[in-house]
Amino acid sequence: MSVILGSGEHRYKVIENWAQLPDGWEFRDVGAVAVDSKDQVYVFNRGEHPMMVFDRDGKFLRSWGEGQYPRAHGLHIDIDDTLYLTDDGGHVVRKCSPDGKVLLELGTPGKPAPYMSGEPFHRCTHTALSPKGEIYVSDGYGNAKVHKYSPDGKLLMSWGEPGTDPGQFNIVHNIVTDADGWVYVADRENHRVQVFDGNGKYEAQWNNLHRPCGLFCHRGPRLEFIVGELGSGMKVNRAHPNIGPRVSIVDRHGALIARLGGTDGPGTAPGKFIAPHGIALDSRGDIYVGEVSYTDWPVTHPDLPIPKGLRSLQKLEKVK
């Protein structure tokens, strides 16, 4: 019997073993996932083959990026199927063609800016584009900034600093924009998403989230956001119910629409999550959830060895 998550018009069937990997291959951690205009699914992961591409039925198509990405983290695909890859281990953002040709590079590979200096980059995490094609970079683990670049890679401005006040960050982990140019930032360890105008002016925040990691803006008839919440990272509340890990769907004001999973902690059963980290949506409304399961397992299951072949990607098919 299929596992169904969600409620009402936001119901999803869990598709088990969706990705048909070549023999002997594995994802390890899936830092990010994105879908192009042909519903091809790009899986940016921390295994030996950093970028793996599948059709919407899970058939493997190709791979690239071997040896070039120390720690896959963020992936965004624009309307013309150009990819923006963020590698926090390499401290670099690359704009690439669908076959991996590098078109633009931001940052110096392997050379981080000084810790918390505010200069780009120290373990940058994700990218988003303005309506004019300007590039926003969330930065990240070793900084507390959002950087804004021109389409050709000129640094225009930066905003943010460490802290908990509006406009401050405690791990700026993900970033998306909407068609009107508003900027939404997953401020992970402050348990919120902050909303800014295109020049970094603070506007609002959503606080009904627990360690938001993945963030996807669905520009459909109604503006909705899909949020991957990492759940507890501490022993003291690891077994607490209703704090994740889970996937939540919210409206443009952050009001909850639906929650998928997360009622009774992490797990490997279909429909449960370990560490939702990257989120994508295809043209049919199906959700792809990338998980950094290998990284998070020792945190959520400190007394158990990592299982062989631990799942790092789930497909949730929208129930019509």
Residue 51: phi and psi, rounded to 5, are: -115, 120
**pLDDT above 80 for 129:** yes
Q: Quick count: other Cβ atoms within 10 Å of Cβ 197?
A: 12
Contact 197, 182 (CB under 8 A): yes
| Helices (H), ranges, the chain | 293-300
* E runs forming strands in 162-275: 172-177, 183-187, 192-196, 202-206, 212-219, 223-229, 246-251, 256-260
**pLDDT above 90 for 300:** no
- AA letter at 98: P
* E runs forming strands in 221-286: 223-229, 246-251, 256-260, 276-281
pTM recorded for the entire structure: 0.97
Q: Is the dihedral of CA 51, 52, 55, 57 positive or negative?
A: negative
State both tokens at 237: 């509340």
**pLDDT above 90 for 235:** no
Q: HSE of 40 in the Cβ direction (CA atoms, 13 Å)?
A: 19
Q: Is the dihedral of CA 34, 95, 26, 22 positive or negative?
A: positive
3-state class (DSSP) for residue 233: coil
Q: How far apart are CA 221 and CA 219, in angstroms?
A: 7
Contact 203, 197 (CB under 8 A): yes
Contact 84, 78 (CB under 8 A): yes
Q: Buried (b) or exposed (e) across 42-59, using 16+ Cβ within 10 A? A: bbbbbbebbbbbbebeee
3-state class (DSSP) for residue 6: strand
3-state per-residue secondary structure call for 136-158 = EEEECCCCCEEEEECCCCCEEEE
Q: What is the pLDDT of residue 96?
A: 98
The 10s digit of each residue's pLDDT in 30-43 is 999 999 999 999 99
Residue 300: phi and psi, rounded to 5, are: -85, -20
Residue 237: phi and psi, rounded to 5, are: -125, 20
Residues in the chain: 320
Q: What is the pLDDT of residue 234?
A: 84
- Chain position carrying tokens 């409304």: 285
Q: For residue 138, what pLDDT band results from cuts at 50, 70 and 90? A: very high
Q: For residue 320, what pLDDT band results from cuts at 50, 70 and 90? A: confident
Given this structure, which CATH class describes domain 4-318? mainly beta
- Say which DSSP state 247 is in: E
**pLDDT above 90 for 2:** no
- AA letter at 155: L
- Show me where the domains of the chain are located: 4-318
Q: How far apart are CA 135 and CA 144, in angstroms?
A: 17
Average pLDDT of span 59-63: 98
Q: Quick count: other Cβ atoms within 10 Å of Cβ 236?
A: 7
**pLDDT above 90 for 236:** no
